Amino acid sequence: MKLKINNVNKIFNNDNKHHHVLKDISMDIEKGQFVSILGPSGCGKTTLLTIVAGFQSCDSGEIIVNSKMVSKPGPDRAFVFQNYALFPWMNVGDNIRYPMKQQKIPKGQREKRLNELLEMAQLTGKDKLYPHQISGGMKQRCAVVRALACSPEVLLMDEPLGAIDFQMRQNLQEELENLWLKDKTTVLMVTHDVDEAVYLSDRVIVMGTDKGKILEDMYIDIDRPRNRDSKSYLEYKMKLTDVLKKCNNK
């Protein structure tokens, strides 16, 4: 098992009130699996992802990566934020070099990896451009390959396409899939979008508003690249939409 989330509990204390956001949340994610988490706003998706990343701690429970318990951020887990969080003062090349410098990867190796990553993201020759000089799609590819730079065990993404309009979003989902197919990193991605979850995931987990309770854990058994109009694709979408409707009506 690549990533194990074991009985995680998280309670926030606001104004002397306890808010039990995650109760006994567990999931096991296999190596190379692309897993999405769907769920209504406020159900604790980002909280869970940031606990896995080690940005905040849980009150009880464990996060295990490759059989080792983790509690702080580390290069084994990379994170892609909703707004990409590229450094605006660094060009594309330096953005991608940054985590490798942090990890003190020797210059020769770093430059070789940079070239591989630029090629992977179809950004070859664009390394001198700054984030404001590139398109949304290029920014997204840059953010994903930056996250992959140090070959993390697990790639965590919190609504990586959340800020993107519908048409562009479908193209970017295809690009994200292609990047993932080249690398087959284990992925845990949060999304609001049922179509995105079905298009990209091997497995979709639905969390509900009752302390993040897992309402559904569905394997998407369709060959890639997926045809969004196929019967089985639409059936998966319908099933997941039904689960989400039920948790919104509660």
Ligand X SMILES: Nc1ncnc2c1ncn2[C@@H]1O[C@H](COP(=O)(O)OP(=O)(O)OP(=O)(O)O)[C@@H](O)[C@H]1O
Query: For binding to ligand X (CB under 6 A), which residues are involved?
Result: 12, 14, 21, 39, 41-47
Residues 6+ apart with CB under 8 A from 140: 84, 160, 161, 164, 172, 175, 176
Q: CB of 120: closest distance to Mg ion in angstroms?
A: 27
Q: How many residues bind Mg ion (CB under 5 A)?
A: 1
Of 46 and 122, CB closest to ligand X: 46
Q: CB of 40: closest distance to ligand X in angstroms?
A: 7
Nearest to 159 by CA among 25, 20, 39, 64: 39
Residue 188 near residue 195 (C-beta atoms within 8 A): no
Q: CB of 204: closest distance to Mg ion in angstroms?
A: 16
Q: How far apart are alpha carbons 63 and 61 in whole angstroms?
A: 7
Residue 21 binding result from Mg ion, ligand X, none, given CB thresholds of 5 to 8 Å by partner type: ligand X
CA-based max dimension of the chain = 56
Is the bond into 225 cis (omega within 30 degrees of 0)? yes
Of 44 and 152, CB closest to ligand X: 44
Stretch that binds Mg ion, among 21-29, 39-47, 67-75, 160-168 (CB under 5 A): 39-47
Contacting residue, 46, 66, 170, 241, with Mg ion by CB under 5 A? 46
Residue 47 binding result from Mg ion, ligand X, none, given CB thresholds of 5 to 8 Å by partner type: ligand X
User: How many CB atoms are located within 10 Å of the residue 113 CB?
Assistant: 19
Q: Where are the alpha helices (DSSP H) in the chain?
A: 45-53, 92-102, 107-120, 136-148, 166-183, 194-200, 231-249
Q: In the block, which residue shows the tokens 């567990």?
A: 26
Residue 123 binding result from ligand X, Mg ion, none, given CB thresholds of 5 to 8 Å by partner type: none
Decide if residue 50 touches Mg ion (CB under 5 A). no
Residue 143 binding result from Mg ion, ligand X, none, given CB thresholds of 5 to 8 Å by partner type: none
Of 131 and 208, CB closest to ligand X: 208
Of 46 and 178, CB closest to Mg ion: 46
Stretch that binds Mg ion, among 40-48, 70-78, 139-147, 201-209 (CB under 5 A): 40-48
Q: In the block, which residue shows the tokens 């993390």?
A: 152
158: β partners: 190
Residue 183 near residue 141 (C-beta atoms within 8 A): no
**Residue type at 56 in one-letter notation:** Q
Of 19 and 228, CB closest to ligand X: 19
Residues engaged in binding Mg ion (CB under 5 A): 46
